[in-house]
């Protein structure tokens, strides 16, 4: 029963927070106005700026921020025990993550859909804008390099997922074009598309698993899949949002809701019949984490990013979502609500990686009938691994050896175990969860590519590098840089194509630092308007101290620090990010006192030929 109780209490906490704290922020602090003009109407171009129904933009926003962040982070953090991870996810998402996302979305809405980086240039200083854009560039480069690797690993480990992931793309484009021409809602076609995706999962599991051949150590499946994914990202990120981004994300949002509902139902059944018990399957607080694990403070707050708070979310809020919101009051559901739903996903991940794994450990095995999932056997007792023994088997690796395949695998297998409690065959259950993870990682990957294109165009405009203001050349540059990093070997004994793992140690700290800097922009925006700032200032301080602390530990630790191991790429990125953070904090401190109650410079008037609509009705 402990598993079900934790799930229910977490859900109640998120619902209460949305209807109390979230409502207070919307009404008292931001005073959301249903009659306010919004960028999607004011600057409508039907490419990036387009008024969108709340359900559709919620789907885009949620799937873009979710990705694999709330999966990989919690799957690693349970090394320290499930209770610290659970508490950080719940309170972090309510008090920090949702506040960060909601605030970034609102101030972007009120600044013609500008990104947080652009707004920093007006509310803090022009130099702060460039500094923020440079930090964004570093962070998004890591996202592109890492998430391409994540999807490639999923395709290699779970070939049954490939067919469903790729078939969803033409389906989404067809729905997008149909909806655009007919002006009909996408709900019914999206549900039909979902049925087709589940049929493709079935076919992929039992009839058409797609396994990429390994031509050589250089042209291995990871390399080939990563190149294909980067080519897809280029196309997806330059298309108008209504062609692929909106319909695909809308379908994916339904896919996630169905998968979460199946997991919750399976969790409830397994808990009630006594085969899934959180407290018996994994330690609440680990007595002894792996010897090579970093200290829980500050690394718990860095390891779990997207499930509690993530700087990447401010880029989605101000980079794409603010350009599609059709009514200002929709911002609470999209900004605050989507983050709480992601917190709910992170809770499910924690339960799957503990109670789900405790239901039984399975491994791939080559048999006469082909590759099959079989029960892992305890060599000492010659019995199937279940309960604490199964969890300890999954998490027996040293921290440094617990790589992306193990973290993703912990959730896929644990979540699939929940689904088996509903009578779903294990291979099919694994296919459902694997497709879920791959689809969300792909959504984050191409959204990050589009956002990185915006950042590069802004930097090019500032530095007067005119060719890079072209969206096609800027996108090609972005994809090339991320691809070059991804193609590097992840270590001296690793194959090419695993370069994303080089940057993984810095990703969490940089991502969380970005959240702190975004909160700083929000604080200055409110400070200039004599509005309360404490609700954003406290998260700002927490998310600037913790990442900086973690970065310094990673750089200077006497045994595993980057300086000791001479990891020059990590050293370069680490010192660059820390230096930019310190410089931006200095810029903010210099104008803090004199900015109180003084509004920033207004945006220039729009040209009369802008073509925007001034309609103010929701």
pLDDT digits (tens, 9 = 90+) for 366-381: 555 555 777 788 777 7
Q: How far apart are CA 373 and CA 363, in angstroms?
A: 5
pTM of the full structure: 0.91
In terms of Cα–Cα distance, which of 251, 321, 243 is closest to 46? Answer: 243
Contacts with 10 (C-beta within 8 Å, 6 or more apart), sequence order: 86, 90, 343, 344, 347
pLDDT tens-place string over residues 384-440: 889 999 999 889 878 877 877 888 889 999 999 999 999 999 999 999 999 988 888
Q: CA 96 from chain center: how many Å?
A: 16
Predicted local distance difference test score (pLDDT) of residue 369 = 54
Q: Where are the domains of the chain?
A: 2-93+133-288+315-487
Which pLDDT belongs to residue 122?
Answer: 92
Q: Which of 148-162, 186-200, 446-460, 561-575 has the lowest mean pLDDT?
A: 561-575
CA-to-CA dists, residue 522 to 134, 368, 515, 518, angstroms? 19, 61, 11, 6
- Alpha-carbon span 206 to 425, nearest angstrom: 11
Supply the pLDDT for residue 306. 86
For residue range 449-462, list pLDDT tens digits in order: 988 998 899 889 88
Determine the average pLDDT of the residues in 172-190: 86
Mean pLDDT of the chain: 88
Q: What is the DSSP string of 293-330?
A: PPPHHHHHHHHS-TTT--THHHHHHHHTGGGTBSSGGG
């Amino acid at each position: 029963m402990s598993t079900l109780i934790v799930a229910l209490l977490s859900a109640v906490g998120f619902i209460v927070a949305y209807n109390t704290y979230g409502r207070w922020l919307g009404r008292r602090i931001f005073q959301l106005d249903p009659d306010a003009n919004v960028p999607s109407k004011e600057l409508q171009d039907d490419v990036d700026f387009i008024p969108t129904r709340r359900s559709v933009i919620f789907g885009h926003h949620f799937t873009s921020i979710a990705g694999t962040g709330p999966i990989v982070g919690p799957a690693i953090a349970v090394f320290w025990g499930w209770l610290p991870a659970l508490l950080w996810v719940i309170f972090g998402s309510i008090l920090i993550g949702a506040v960060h996302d909601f605030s970034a979305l609102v101030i972007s809405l009120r600044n013609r859909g500008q990104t947080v980086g652009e707004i920093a240039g007006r509310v803090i200083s022009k130099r702060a804008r460039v500094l923020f854009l440079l930090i964004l560039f570093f962070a998004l480069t890591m996202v592109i390099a890492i998430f391409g690797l994540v999807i490639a690993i999923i395709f290699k480990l779970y070939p049954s997922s490939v067919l469903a992931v790729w078939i969803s793309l033409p389906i989404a484009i067809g729905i997008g074009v149909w909806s655009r021409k007919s002006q009909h809602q996408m709900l019914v076609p999206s549900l039909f598309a979902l049925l087709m995706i589940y049929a493709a999962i079935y076919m992929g599991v039992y009839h058409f698993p797609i396994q990429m051949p390994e031509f050589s150590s250089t042209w291995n499946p990871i390399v080939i899949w990563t190149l294909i994914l980067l080519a897809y990202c280029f196309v997806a990120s330059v298309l108008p949002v209504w062609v692929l981004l909106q319909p695909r994300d809308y379908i994916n949002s339904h896919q996630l809701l169905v998968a979460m509902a199946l997991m919750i139902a399976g969790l409830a059944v397994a808990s009630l019949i006594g085969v899934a018990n959180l407290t018996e399957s994994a330690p609440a607080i680990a007595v002894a984490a792996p010897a090579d694990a970093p200290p829980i403070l500050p690394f718990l707050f860095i390891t779990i990013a997207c499930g509690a708070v993530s700087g990447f979310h401010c880029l989605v809020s101000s980079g794409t979502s603010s350009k599609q919101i059709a009514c200002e009051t929709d911002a609470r559901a999209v900004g605050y609500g989507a983050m709480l739903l992601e917190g709910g996903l992170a809770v499910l991940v924690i339960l799957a990686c503990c109670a789900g794994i405790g239901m039984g450990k399975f491994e791939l095995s080559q048999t006469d009938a082909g590759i099959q999932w079989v029960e892992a056997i305890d060599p000492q007792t010659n019995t199937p691994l279940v309960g604490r023994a199964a969890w300890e088997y999954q998490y027996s690796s040293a921290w440094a050896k617990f790589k992306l395949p193990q973290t993703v695998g912990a959730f896929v297998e644990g979540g699939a175990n929940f689904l088996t409690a509903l009578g779903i065959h294990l291979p099919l259950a694994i296919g459902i969860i694997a497709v879920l993870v791959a689809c969300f990682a792909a959504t984050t990957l191409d959204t990050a590519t589009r956002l990185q294109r915006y950042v590069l165009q802004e930097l090019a405009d500032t530095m007067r590098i005119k060719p890079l203001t072209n969206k096609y050349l800027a996108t090609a540059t972005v994809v090339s840089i991320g691809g070059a990093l991804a193609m590097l070997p992840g270590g001296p004994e690793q194959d090419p194509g695993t370069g994303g793992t080089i940057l993984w140690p810095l990703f969490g700290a940089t991502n969380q630092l970005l959240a702190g800097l975004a909160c700083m922009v929000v604080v200055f925006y409110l400070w200039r308007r004599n509005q309360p700032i404490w609700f954003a200032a406290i998260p700002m301080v927490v998310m600037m101290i913790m990442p900086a602390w973690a970065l310094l530990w990673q750089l200077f630790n006497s045994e595993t620090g980057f300086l000791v191991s001479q990891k020059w790429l990590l050293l370069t990125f680490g010192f660059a990010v820390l230096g930019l953070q310190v410089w931006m904090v200095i810029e903010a401190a210099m104008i803090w006192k004199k900015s109180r109650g003084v509004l920033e410079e207004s945006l220039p008037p729009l040209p009369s030929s802008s073509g925007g609509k001034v309609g103010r009705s929701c």
